[in-house]
Amino acid sequence: METLLPTSVRIPKVLTIAGSDSGGGAGLQADLKVITALGGYGMSVITAITAQNTLGVTRIQDVDLDVVEAQMDAVFSDIGVDIVKIGMLASPEIVQTVARTLLKYGIKKVVLDPVLRATSGASLGGDDTAQAIITELFPLALLVTPNMDEASLMLGRDVTGPDDFKLAAQELLDLGPQAVLIKGGHLDGAHTQITDYLMWRTFEDGLEVIQSKEFKHYRVNTANTHGTGCSLASAIATYLAAEHDLSHAVAKAIAYVEAGLEAGRFLSIGEGPGPLWHMHDFYPTALLDEREKR
């Protein structure tokens, strides 16, 4: 009897280059949860190890530069990637190592989340790191996803709300990436609606055309917001790897994170702000809790 070999099945391959969160709510742990939940194959390059929980970050240990590069070499030389998502890079030297290795392998799709501060307020990278990210990684990025604080730091001026987003996005776009998504979730809780602003460049008949789109969505009433930025960037990257266009990928990723926040409203993980619930499609905890109350 003839033996039939299994056919090759394509799965989106997403590499996260980020710091490790020992509490599991953000960083590469969150990235890998998102990638898996959305049907991708997740791989990781650890840039830093953090001692972290829902109350904050108590210790950061950078990974040696040659180890960062070796991890990237291992993935690129064998498995390959459809897209790279970049999160926490704690020093200019790590930024330069990552950029050099991306160039070596000719990586064209990069979603860059310029993580410079944790949700708890802890610094994860200073001004020198921010400048290195702009110089080394912005020109390689398909999309950059700063929140308002990160946009303010990189532009050297305050970005305080949606009225500032268009100009800020244009100024960040001028620094080299193909697209910028400014996230409005850090507005104070008095704002019941969140605005995220996407600006991107395309080329029509050889001419550059700038397009933009606002995404308005409601604020989920929850303290469990740890890891939202990491999760959003990873979701966008996974949808892009699955060949959704940019605007559609952003819209789907926002909906995924919003559903995760809603599902995680009643989770009790730690003494501080817990994470969103990444596995809401499989285990809808909020709905289960609501049923139990009836």
- Cβ distance 260 to 286 under 8 Å? no
Instruction: Give me the residue spans of the domains in the chain.
Output: 13-293
| pLDDT mean over 16-24 | 96
11 has pLDDT over 70: yes
Across the range 256-283, mean pLDDT stands at: 93
**What does the pLDDT read at residue 288?**
53
Output the pLDDT for position 122: 52
- What does the alpha-carbon distance between residue 168 and residue 174 come to, in Å, rounded to a whole number? 10
Provide the pLDDT confidence category of residue 115 given band limits of 50, 70 and 90: confident
Inter-residue contact 137 to 115 (CB < 8 Å) = no
pLDDT-based confidence at 283, cuts 50/70/90?
Answer: confident
What does the chain come to in residues? Answer: 294
Q: What is the pLDDT of residue 253?
A: 98
Enumerate residues 6+ apart whose C-beta is below 8 A from 207.
none
- pLDDT for 61 equals 95
| Cβ-based neighbour number of residue 74 at 10 Å | 12
User: How high is the pLDDT of residue 2?
Assistant: 60
Rg (CA), the chain: 19
pLDDT class for 127, splitting at 50, 70, 90?
confident
Right CATH for 13-293 from 3.90.600.10, 2.120.10.30, 3.40.50.11540, 3.40.1190.20: 3.40.1190.20
CA distances from residue 13 to 21, 32, 241 in whole angstroms, order as listed:
22, 11, 7
Residue 88: CB atoms within 10 A of its CB come to 27
pLDDT computed for residue 133 by the predictor = 96
CA distances from residue 118 to 88, 225, 251 in whole angstroms, order as listed: 10, 11, 24
Residue 3: pLDDT band (50, 70, 90) is: low
- Asked if the model's pLDDT at residue 171 lies above 60, the reply is yes
Q: What is the pLDDT of residues 183-233, one digit of tens each?
A: 997 666 556 789 999 999 988 888 889 999 999 988 898 999 999 999 999
At residue 124, the pLDDT reads: 57
Q: What is the pLDDT of residues 131-160, one digit of tens each?
A: 999 999 999 999 999 999 999 999 999 998
Cβ atoms 63, 46 nearer than 8 A: yes
At 275 the pLDDT is 95
What pLDDT, on a 0 to 100 scale, did the predictor assign at position 192?
77
Sheet with 13-21, strands from edge to edge, namely 56-62, 41-53, 13-21, 83-86, 110-112, 143-144, 179-182, 193-204, 207-218
Q: For residues 179 and 138, what is the distance between their CA atoms, to the nearest angstrom?
A: 10
Q: Which residues are catalytic?
A: 183, 225, 227-230
pLDDT at 116: 76
Confidence of residue 165 (pLDDT cuts 50, 70, 90): very high
Alpha helices in 53-126 (DSSP H): 65-78, 92-104
pLDDT at 243: 95
Query: 165-173 vs 148-155: helix axis angle to the nearest 10?
Result: 60
